[in-house]
Structure 1
Amino acid sequence: MIEPAALRWQDAVIAEIAILTPRVKSFRLRVGFAARFRPGQHVDVRLTAPDGYQAQRSYSIASAPDASGLIELMIERLDDGEVSGFFADIAEVGDTIELRGPIGGSFVWSAAEGGPVLLVGGGSGVVPLLAMLRHRAAAAPGVKALLLYSARTRQEVIARAELDARARDEPGFALHLALTREPGGRRIDRAAIDAALARIGAPAHVFVCGGNPFVGAVSNLLLDAGVAPALIRTERFGG
């Protein structure tokens, strides 16, 4: 059986690198499927050492599908992270890395699905939600969307300037930040969920992404607030 193209390993060249936060960098990679993926999908990245040892991690795509030939990954440096450490300290523009994708079919949203859309992200869990927001702005700006985003400090808000600009300039988009380590800050709680729902109205789609404890807690809050389970789609990473 021929392996599906998305599951074949392929070379991708790093075209651009930018610092986003003290722990997160943006990497724009030249690939052949930049116009052929769905917002919310991810890629697998594989690194191979000279002795043959391999390390592999999954990273959500942050960019929206377009004709640029590039996808964007936003990679957070993790303590003792083999792959994230490479991207944080070693990777340079012009380097070639192995990846496969796009992967994933349940945690995705496209303009044809409509809204309103409620997005809830914790830390780097905002990355696939950014892809959805960027796609919305390009393809369906009339769809209402709200991002409820939890980060420790304002400095650690990924794509902060972009999100602030969208909240200012896009009438159908609202941004609610929960900054847990700022003075007076708090985690996302039932009051924050209720405020988001009051702002956006009854959502047609809800996406929650972050660490396991975050996703579990937010999902429970949404259910307690009366959101139907069938509307809630989740993406989790370890922790």
Structure 2
Amino acid sequence: MTAVVRGRAPHPGPWQTARVTGIRRETPTAKSFTLTLSEPRAFWPGQHMIVRLTAPDGYRAQRSYSIASAPSGAAELDLTVELLPDGEVSRFLHDAVEVGDVLDVRGPIGGHFAWDLRPALGVAGGSGIVPLMSMLRHARALGEPDLFRLVVSVRGPEDLYYAAEVRGPETSIAFTRAVPDGYARPPGRLTADDLAAALDPDRELYVCGSTAFCDAATRLAEAAGVPTGRIRVERFGVTG
């Protein structure tokens, strides 16, 4: 079943438990975790969940992770987590969590970056693809893939999240350092031409990635004539 977003973005409920029912490696430093919530929560693409860990001595740590799956109305959702060098939560999730484990979660969180099904273009830098992948998956599940177009900037093929799924007529990928054999676009940073092919006057722009990437992508979009009021930005921090 595909859930269609309408009205206002859902607000978070109380903390609940979620059982890990699947783990998939996306890149050498990223994994997707399928969680089955004890109580289903409606969400919009672009929202995130908080994961909380509690040590035996009572110490707690929590981090926010974007939802990667499309809304479905079911109790399942996917979180994709990048392993950060000094990330205590991401390290635990990558090294210790197994299928069958139970986590404390709360959400969905966030309204500004939530996608409301208006035609949009997502511009992702590296791991910034995660919330935009939720949007892409939702558009495809609705049978309207052109509702959401996606431009991804990533260092090389091994760094591309969802590599087997992301490619399609509504997406383009800008590899900045290394390209697959036979790839037409040479390696290099995102350019105005990369955005121009996917932009049209009616599209909202969703930009997600590091602060430097978001600033650069926003400048390209503004130079292409996109009004500032139609650009939504979500910057990823360095905590993990």
Which TM-score applies when normalising by structure 2? 0.87
Change (3 A) 1:54 1:103: same
- Counterparts of 1:10 and 1:24, CA distance in 2: 24
- Counterparts of 1:67 and 1:186, CA distance in 2: 40
5 Å-filtered alignment, 1:179-194, equals 179-182=175-178, 184-194=186-196
RMSD: 1.9
Residue by residue over 1:189-221, the C-alpha shift from the partner in whole angstroms, topping out at 9 and shown as x without a partner, is 223223333xxx224211001111111111111
> SS of the residue aligned with 1:213?
helix
5 Å-filtered alignment, 1:105-124, equals 105-111=111-117, 113=118, 115=119, 117-124=120-127
Aligned residue pairs, count: 223
Residue by residue over 1:127-147, the C-alpha shift from the partner in whole angstroms, topping out at 9 and shown as x without a partner, is 110111111112251644321
Instruction: Tell me if structure 1 keeps the 8 A contact 2:52–2:62.
Output: yes
- Counterparts of 1:5 and 1:222, CA distance in 2: 30
Corresponding residue of 2:90: 84
Structure 1 segments of 4+ aligned residues over 6 angstroms from their partners: none
Change (3 A) 1:52 1:65: same
Corresponding residue of 1:146: 149
Corresponding residue of 1:227: 226
Amino acid at match of 1:48: T
Amino acid at match of 1:225: A
Corresponding residue of 2:198: 196
Change (3 A) 1:234 1:34: farther
Corresponding residue of 1:99: 105
> SS of the residue aligned with 1:196?
coil
Displacement of 1:48: 1.1
Instruction: Tell me if structure 2 keeps the 8 A contact 1:44–1:99.
Output: yes
Corresponding residue of 1:214: 213
Identical aligned pairs, as a percentage? 44
Which TM-score applies when normalising by structure 1? 0.87
> SS of the residue aligned with 1:161?
helix
5 Å-filtered alignment, 1:128-167, equals 128-141=131-144, 143-164=146-167, 167=168
> SS of the residue aligned with 1:79?
coil
Corresponding residue of 1:170: none
Corresponding residue of 2:4: none
Structure 2 residues without counterparts, runs of 5 or longer: 1-9, 180-185
> SS of the residue aligned with 1:73?
strand
Corresponding residue of 2:6: none
Query: Which residue of 66, 70, 75 corresponds with 2:76?
Result: 70
Displacement of 1:9: 1.6
- Counterparts of 2:146 and 2:137, CA distance in 1: 12
Change (3 A) 1:5 1:146: closer
Displacement of 1:7: 4.6
- Counterparts of 1:18 and 1:65, CA distance in 2: 19
> SS of the residue aligned with 2:170?
strand
Amino acid at match of 1:179: F
Displacement of 1:35: 5.8
Does 2:18 correspond to 1:19?
A: no
- Counterparts of 1:5 and 1:188, CA distance in 2: 34
Displacement of 1:222: 0.6
Change (3 A) 1:32 1:137: farther
Change (3 A) 1:222 1:5: closer
- Counterparts of 1:35 and 1:56, CA distance in 2: 19
Displacement of 1:237: 1.3
> SS of the residue aligned with 2:111?
coil
Structure 1 residues without counterparts, runs of 5 or longer: 168-172
